[in-house]
């Protein structure tokens, strides 16, 4: 089963859920706004993504700009703590299948992820 890290305010995230539902793909929703991930869960997620936390922050978000003056100097541990406190700053959706995770955008990547 696929787990989807989801933000209900995100149109891309809602579109992926719609795609999964329309294609009868079983999934579990993890709404990061209602159920923020712990630091441990975030560390595990980023290992599965094989990405640094700073690479999946929404840089246009006010929270990002409030905490980081320069994208190039983001401390990864600080980024994790910001995500834990302000989950809306993470780019959603993120799909998890076993030991692998990937950003759920663009849709073509999601299709490939599901099929393989």
Rounded-to-integer distance, Cα 81 and Cα 76, Å: 9
Summarised one tens digit per residue, pLDDT across range 72-91 is 667 888 889 889 988 988 88
Beta-bridged to residue 5, according to DSSP, are 30, 94
Summarised one tens digit per residue, pLDDT across range 16-73 is 999 999 999 999 999 999 999 999 999 999 999 999 988 887 777 676 667 666 556 6
Q: What is the pLDDT of residue 97?
A: 93
Pairing of strands 2-6, 27-31: parallel
Q: What is the pLDDT of residue 72?
A: 62
**Residue 13: both structure tokens together:** 């995230």
Q: What is the pLDDT of residue 100?
A: 93
Q: Using CA atoms of 93, 112, 115, 48 in order, give the dihedral in degrees to the nearest 10.
A: -50
pTM of the full structure: 0.85
Rounded-to-integer distance, Cα 116 and Cα 112, Å: 6
């Amino acid at each position: 089963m696929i787990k989807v890290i989801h933000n209900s305010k995100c149109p891309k995230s809602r579109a992926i859920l719609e795609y999964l539902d329309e294609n009868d793909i079983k999934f579990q929703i993890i709404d990061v706004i209602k159920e923020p991930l712990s630091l441990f869960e975030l560390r595990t997620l980023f290992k599965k993504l094989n990405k640094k936390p700073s690479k999946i922050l929404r840089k246009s978000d006010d929270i990002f700009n409030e905490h980081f003056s320069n994208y190039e100097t983001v401390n990864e541990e600080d980024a994790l703590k910001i995500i834990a406190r302000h989950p809306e700053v993470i780019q959603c959706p993120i799909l998890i299948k076993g030991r692998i995770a990937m950003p759920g955008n663009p849709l073509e990547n999601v299709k490939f992820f599901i099929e393989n």
